[in-house]
Structure 1
Amino acid sequence: MLETAPLSDLLWTRGYTDPAWIRRFTTQGRELSPSRRVWRGPAPVRHLPRAETDLDALDLVTTDAGALKLADLFDAAQTDAFLVLHRGQIVYERYLHGADAHTPHFNASAAKSYLGLVAATLAHQGLLDRTAPACAYVPELAGTAFGDARVQDLLHMGTQVSYAGRHFDKAIEAQRYYAVIAPQLRPFGYCGPAGIREHLLTARATGAPGEEFRYENGNVEALAEVLRRTTGLSTSDLLSDLLWSKMGAEEDAYYILDGDGVEAACGGFSATARDVARLGEILRCGGAVGDRQVVPEEVAGTIAGGVPDGYPRRVRFPAAPPDSPATLSYHDLWWILNDPHGSCMASGIHGQRLFVSPGLDLVVVHFGSQVMSPAVPPVPLVQAFVKIGVHLNS
């Protein structure tokens, strides 16, 4: 007999199956939810020089159906924006489906990595203690899975959690999180938490922190609350002060907000492809913007190789099949590719990627509105990025 999900869970397993609906969400977030800007600051825009290169004919990935080119990749990934920086120059830039260079696009979980960079910088400055429990900064979280975990555990997805006594299911909990922050996504009869902070208070530990990698949005939301209490700044102002206002951004970015006016830090961030590329260029250049050190060199230098003792050196990408080999590492909310080029990546659902490879002198930004379904095969974006980098360096 075919097993089915409990009726109570059916409302939470629908997912996003229509690219047009997804694209409305990824490109028009400010029209759908309250938002708060991440100010670009008063500094001049940092010009990105151009050296256009034709990559359209390049064979990127070989499959059973033949070699994939960029057009095939764009079609499969429902690509909205694609930008390649090589040695600080824009060599390729394309926008599709009505997007353009000034369209802020949903970054989804790639935003986790940006917050990780902020937290690592504050820790380097001595303003944040990685070894302290989160409840030392947010007393209300005491007794919860996140409050009793160390800041270091939150930065490495090192908690094991159950919400409101439910069996943990990553996909279902992600859908429930969307309902927490966006009333229009709540099913009829919803009676769950009305905001992010209330949601975090329902989390209970099902295992000791720091022993297992489990990718979960609550780690990032708890970390964001820690940072707000530490600095006295909103997440938007903090990101602006430490990064966005110092990198020569062209546009303001923005976060969507929950009903209490709290930023959805784990994924509710939108920005243009060019500005996300500028952020990636900071990492590629060891934390510097020109002759100014924006991110401490020690922080930038350890992103790709600084997984601390006690955390898995190799982890499985959340969307990968259970029987796939674990080929990635995870450090300070960044994915580490363990390749010969020192590459790291910020990654989000629907195909959002910021790929940084110092060894290839490469930064790639990909924004998509890809359907997430077991019936839709994964798109080999990373393999394509590496092939582009190798080609540009040949």
Structure 2
Amino acid sequence: MLKAAIYFLVPILLGSVQVHAQEMPKPAPVQKALDGWSNKEALDFLRNFNVNDLTIGAPAALWYHRYAAQTNKTAILVRRQPIMEMPKATLREIGKITATTELGTMTLDEFLVHPDSYAQGFIVVHKGKIAYETYPGMAELDPHFWASVAKILASMAVDILIDDGRIDENMTLGHYVPEFRGSVWETIKVVNALDMSAGLDVRDDATQFADPDSVTSRLFRAELGEERDGKIEYMLDVLLDAKRVEESGKNYIYSSGVTQSLVFLAEAVSGRPWSDFFDDRVWSKIGAEGPLQVHLSPDGIAIVHGPVSSNLRDLARVGLLYTPSWSAISTERIVSPSALDRIQNSPRTKEFYFGGEAGSGQRFSKRLGDNTIRTAARQWDAVFEDGDFFKSGLNTQGIYVSPDRDLVIAYFSTERSQQIQKYLRPIALSEAFD
């Protein structure tokens, strides 16, 4: 079972905690994921794994990325459609695109095989066809932990219910979720939860995670069945203890707890467990190659702010739902033109994105190495001025979508510093996709 060190997870993800390199263990070479683990190694990881290992990139992190379903309860969303293959139309010039990272200036091809990149899989899909694909540190159909990339699934589910006419995003969470009434969540508008602007003390920052009694720390321990004062708390009960710290809708403040409020919203409106609703409305329509693993808390709540797993091509298929090539991998249009417009043309401003004490937008902008980010919206970390958008996750997982270029980039890794993000905009803006 995962340990109390969970509260170190997101500060490192967001760059809120600075740790000297000499204090960090060196990650295991990703070749280990290809070679496999002995019975003794696997049992040791399973019995002793904790999230501190995950956040600092210890050797156990590489194992967890592949075997998260062995440490968490998991809902398995199986493939229900015939596999809808993405044909290959290789563009070798993609691998020649250069960027400068902590490892120096090198091509994408060079970076991905560098022993200190810890890259495991990288794919570029253009117009529904695979333009570039490589797996330096995993088998191509292995499931892999998405980390916070999963947050886009929470917003997708809510946007489906908005399109159904069952949710008005300008109504409050309390209007739909009876359990939120009488708490500060009652007055939070749905749109502010979608855009991570609840204005509550449920924040992913160093202060909250360093305090074991904060709502944020308690939330993660509740997810993992860890006792507090001799008892295990439920996630919902912990969220109800949140307090307001600023006006909702004012600033973009990254919060996994706010993402989880969207799970309770979708369940209240649909009347179904989140994983069942998502299976019915999304996964069952996709011609995926494997299952979607939705990892659960001990009390059965889908932890959609992070613990979800699939193979890399199926993550790319999720990205294709936002592009003109959606029909290449799905029997139905799942992301409507209206839902796409709510991301690309969000009324949120640069001031919203870069404001606030937490400075969430500043961290994402620095990692991407791009000054054309306009804002964040619908759980996406960055929405660019040209309409592209991007989502990242712990240990360098990510998905980049360019609807206008009909382009998706997705990758898995076991590396802490998100270096690979420096390649995304150069790839998207390259002549290969003119």
Which category of TM-score, normalised to the shorter sequence, fits these structures?
A: 0.7 to 0.9
RMSD (CA atoms): 3.3
Q: Does 1:265 align with 2:310?
A: no
8 Å CA contact 1:352–1:368 kept in 2: the answer is yes
2:350 & 2:161 partners in 1: Cα distance? 22
- CA distance in 2 between counterparts of 1:310 and 1:147 reads 27
Aligned counterpart, 1:294: 334
- Matched ranges for 1:166-315 at <5 A: 169=208, 176-183=218-225, 186=226, 194-285=233-324, 288-289=327-328, 292-307=332-347, 312=352
Matched, 1:369 2:409: no
Structure 2 CA distance for aligned equivalents of residues 127 and 197 of structure 1: 22
Aligned to 1:60: 98
CA shift in 2, pair 1:10/1:277, >3 Å? closer
Comparing both structures, which one devotes a greater share of its residues to helix?
2
How far apart are residue 253 of structure 1 and its match? 0.4
Going from structure 1 to structure 2, the CA distance change for 1:64 and 1:45 (only over 3 Å counts) comes to closer
In 2, distance between residues paired with 1:362 and 1:239? 24
Q: Is 1:145 aligned with 2:188?
A: no
Cα distance, 1:310 vs. partner?
12
TM-score, normalization by structure 2: 0.76
Q: Which runs of 5+ in 2 are unaligned?
A: 10-51
Q: State the AA in 1 paired with 2:389.
A: C
Structure 1, unpaired ranges of 5+: 1-8, 372-376
Partner of 2:197: 158
Q: 2:60 aligns with which of 21, 38, 44?
A: 21
CA contact (8 A) 2:376 2:382 kept: yes
Shift of 1:243: 1.5
Task: Indicate conservation of the 8 Å contact 1:19/1:78, yes or no.
Answer: no
Match of 1:4 in 2: none
Deviates more, 1:169-178 or 1:318-327: 318-327
Please give the secondary structure, in 2, of the residue aligned with 1:330.
Answer: strand
Q: 2:390 aligns with which of 345, 354, 358?
A: 345
Determine if contact 2:401/2:408 at 8 Å carries over to the other structure.
yes
Paired residues in the alignment total 373
What is residue 334 of structure 1 aligned with on the other side?
Answer: 380
Distance in 1 of aligned mates of 2:390 and 2:365? 21
Identity across the alignment (%)? 21
Q: Which of 83, 88, 91 does residue 131 from structure 2 map onto?
A: 91
Secondary structure of 1:320's partner? Answer: helix
Judging changes above 3 Å, is the alpha-carbon distance between structure 1 residues 337 and 163 closer, same or farther for their aligned structure 2 residues?
Answer: closer
Cα drift, residue 231 of structure 1: 0.5
Confirm or deny that 1:40 pairs with 2:79.
yes
Alpha carbons of structure 1 residues 65 and 297: separation in structure 2 relative to 1, 3 Å: closer
Question: Could you tell me which amino acid in structure 1 is paired with residue 123 of structure 2?
Answer: L
Q: Aligned with 1:120: secondary structure?
A: helix
1:81 paired residue number:
121
- Give the letter for the 1:246 counterpart: K
Q: Distance in 2 between matches of 1:154 and 1:192?
A: 29
**Contact preservation (8 Å) 1:314, 1:326:** no
Structure 1 residues 64 and 37, CA gap change in structure 2 (3 angstroms) = closer
Residues 161 and 168, structure 1, Cα contact 8 Å, conserved in 2 = no
Q: Which letter does structure 1 place at the counterpart of 2:100?
A: T
Q: What's the TM-score, normalizing by structure 1?
A: 0.83
> Structure 2: which amino acid aligns with 1:260?
D
